[in-house]
Structure 1
Amino acid sequence: MSKKSDSFERCWEGHIEELIKISAKKASAVESKHRQIVEGACRVFFKKGFHPTSMREIAEAAGMSMGQMYHYISSKDDVLFLIHKHMQTSWYQRLTDAEIEEIDDATKKLESALKESLVFIVENKDLIQFIYTESKYLAKNHLKVVLEMDNRNVVEYWRDLIRNASKQQAIDIDIDFSANLIAYIVVFLALRGWNLKSRPVRDSVEFMVDFSFKGLGLSRPRTL
Structure 2
Amino acid sequence: MTGKKTSVRHEVKSSVKDESLIEKRRDQMIRGAVKLFREKGFHRTTTREIAKEAGFSIGTLYEYIRTKEDVLYLVCDRIYEEVNDRLSQLAEKQGTVDGLKDAIRLYIETINDMDDEFTVMYQETKSLPKTALSYVLEKELEMAGLFERMLAGCSEAGEIRLTEKEARLGAHHIIVQGQMWAFRRWALRKQFTLGEFIEMLTDQLLHGVAGLQREGEAT
| Fold shared by both chains (TM-score > 0.5) | yes
Where is the helix percentage greater, Structure 1 or Structure 2? Answer: 1
Q: Which amino acid aligns with 2:28?
A: Q
Residue 154 of structure 2: aligned partner:
165
Alignment partner of 1:53: what SS?
coil
CA separation in 2, counterparts of 1:172 and 1:162?
A: 8
Instruction: Quote the offset at 1:193 in angstroms.
Output: 3.1
Residue 39 of structure 1: aligned partner:
31
Residue 137 of structure 2: aligned partner:
147
TM-score (norm 1): 0.79
Is the Cα contact below 8 Å between 2:95 and 2:150 reproduced in 1?
Answer: no
Percent identical among aligned pairs is 29
CA separation in 2, counterparts of 1:100 and 1:43?
A: 32
CA separation in 2, counterparts of 1:126 and 1:22?
A: 26
Unaligned runs of 5+ in 2: 212-219
| Structure 1 residue ranges (4+ consecutive) displaced by more than 4 angstroms after TM superposition | none
Is the Cα contact below 8 Å between 1:23 and 1:72 reproduced in 2?
Answer: yes
CA separation in 2, counterparts of 1:163 and 1:104?
A: 9
Instruction: Quote the offset at 1:200 in angstroms.
Output: 2.7
Residue 195 of structure 2: aligned partner:
202
| Greater displacement, 53-62 / 104-113 | 104-113
CA separation in 2, counterparts of 1:105 and 1:147?
A: 26
Residue 222 of structure 1: aligned partner:
none
- Structure of greater Rg: 2
Is the Cα contact below 8 Å between 2:10 and 2:135 reproduced in 1?
Answer: no
Cα root mean square deviation, aligned = 2.4
Pairwise mapping of residues 120-139 of structure 1 onto structure 2 (< 5 A)? 120-139=110-129
Unaligned runs of 5+ in 1: 1-7, 218-224
Q: Structure 1 pair 26/176, CA: closer, same or farther in 2 (3 Å)?
A: farther
Is the Cα contact below 8 Å between 1:59 and 1:65 reproduced in 2?
Answer: yes
Instruction: Quote the offset at 1:29 in angstroms.
Output: 3.6
Is the Cα contact below 8 Å between 2:10 and 2:131 reproduced in 1?
Answer: no
Residue 119 of structure 1: aligned partner:
109
Q: Structure 1 pair 159/28, CA: closer, same or farther in 2 (3 Å)?
A: farther
CA separation in 1, counterparts of 2:90 and 2:74?
A: 25
Instruction: Quote the offset at 1:206 in angstroms.
Output: 0.7
Is the Cα contact below 8 Å between 1:35 and 1:86 reproduced in 2?
Answer: no
* Residue 61 (structure 2) pairs with residue 72 (structure 1): no
TM-score (norm 2): 0.80
Instruction: Quote the offset at 1:102 in angstroms.
Output: 4.2
